[in-house]
């Protein structure tokens, strides 16, 4: 383990608790999604919610903006570009290249999602309020925990195998592939008349092979973040995101088969020819 990761959680009770809670939530979270009882947004928000709903565009903006703003503020404060009201435990007076690259990558990841929400995606529904708040909390807390763990790791011996450059490659591939497939989805809805069905069979890119290639590339994106960071907290975050999106993709494929006429049964959920 020490060959790949900083052992930043070993001497920090807070990070140890975050690690244990994160890993313990893997199985129930994934099972809930597989059974169709997961977070209610996008196509899974159909039907009225007793807890209230908000427009999908607002919900999605709230998902990503706090994390983008937090990472941007930390990067700005760390580099001394602008005075930022960043909590002291996230500031880094002597940042390593790894800390700067990780912070910039997180900022790019969530800023890109905000831009997509505002200028790329086409929305027509609502998202459940409680599910939306849960996602906002998860992303914002994950961003803070990733940066804090990296801050703590600055005082430890680096991992013997440096994966930061390879992580940057994974991150770029993931973020570009994710954007490309999000753009394909947006094009499907462009110019759609009210008489046409709300959802149709996606085509183009890896959509011809799997139901959720955008999830596949988001997982690759997060794997890149984990390799840049190389903390146990980042590894746990990657596992959480990967397990959740894998479960969500399986549920999405099942939903397409049930709701969308002509969806090919041979099309996999996430990984071409495999899953």
Q: Quickly state the pLDDT bin for 50 (edges 50, 70, 90).
A: low
Task: Flag whether pLDDT at 234 surpasses 90.
Answer: yes
SS3 64: helix
Quick count: other Cβ atoms within 10 Å of Cβ 160? 8
Mean pLDDT of 174-194: 85
Q: Give me the pLDDT at residue 190, please.
A: 72
Q: Quickly state the pLDDT bin for 212 (edges 50, 70, 90).
A: very high
Q: DSSP of 79-146, one letter per residue?
A: HTSS-----GGG--SS--HHHHHHHHHHHHHHHHHHHHHHHT----SEEEHHHHHHHHHHHHHHHHHH
pTM of the predicted protein model: 0.92
Token pair for residue 122?
């086409």
Q: Quickly state the pLDDT bin for 46 (edges 50, 70, 90).
A: low
For 103-156, write each residue's pLDDT tens digit. Answer: 999 999 999 999 999 999 887 778 888 888 988 999 999 999 999 999 899 888
Q: How many residues are given for the chain?
A: 275
User: What residues does 96 pair with on adjacent strands?
Assistant: none
Token pair for residue 189?
């809805």
Q: Give me the pLDDT at residue 94, please.
A: 76
Task: Flag whether pLDDT at 250 surpasses 80.
Answer: yes
CB distance 74 to 84 below 8 Å = yes
SS3 244: helix
Q: Give me the pLDDT at residue 197, please.
A: 64
């Amino acid at each position: 383990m020490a060959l790949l990761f900083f052992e930043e959680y070993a001497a920090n009770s807070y990070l140890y608790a975050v690690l244990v809670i994160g890993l313990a939530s893997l199985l129930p979270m994934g099972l809930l999604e597989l059974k169709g009882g997961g977070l209610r947004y996008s196509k899974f928000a159909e039907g009225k919610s007793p807890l209230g709903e908000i427009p999908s565009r607002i919900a999605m903006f709230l998902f990503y903006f706090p994390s983008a703003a937090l990472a941007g503020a930390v990067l700005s404060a760390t580099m001394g570009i602008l005075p930022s009201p960043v909590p002291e435990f996230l500031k880094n007076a002597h940042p390593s290249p790894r800390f700067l690259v990780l912070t910039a990558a997180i900022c790019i990841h969530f800023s890109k999602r905000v831009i997509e929400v505002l200028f790329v995606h086409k929305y027509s529904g609502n998202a459940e309020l409680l599910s939306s708040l849960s996602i906002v909390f998860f992303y914002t807390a994950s961003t803070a925990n990733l940066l804090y763990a990296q801050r703590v790791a600055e005082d430890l011996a680096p991992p013997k195998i440096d994966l930061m450059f390879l992580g940057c490659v994974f991150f770029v591939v993931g973020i570009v592939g994710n954007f490309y497939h999000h753009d394909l989805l947006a094009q499907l809805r462009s110019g759609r008349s009210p008489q046409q069905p709300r959802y149709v069979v996606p085509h183009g890119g890896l959509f011809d092979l799997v139901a959720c290639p955008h999830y596949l590339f988001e997982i690759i994106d997060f794997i890149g973040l984990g390799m840049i960071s190389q903390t146990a907290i980042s590894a746990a975050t990657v596992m959480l995101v990967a397990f959740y999106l894998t479960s969500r993709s399986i549920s999405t494929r099942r939903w397409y088969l049930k709701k969308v006429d002509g969806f090919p049964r041979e099309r996999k959920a996430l990984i071409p020819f495999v899953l």
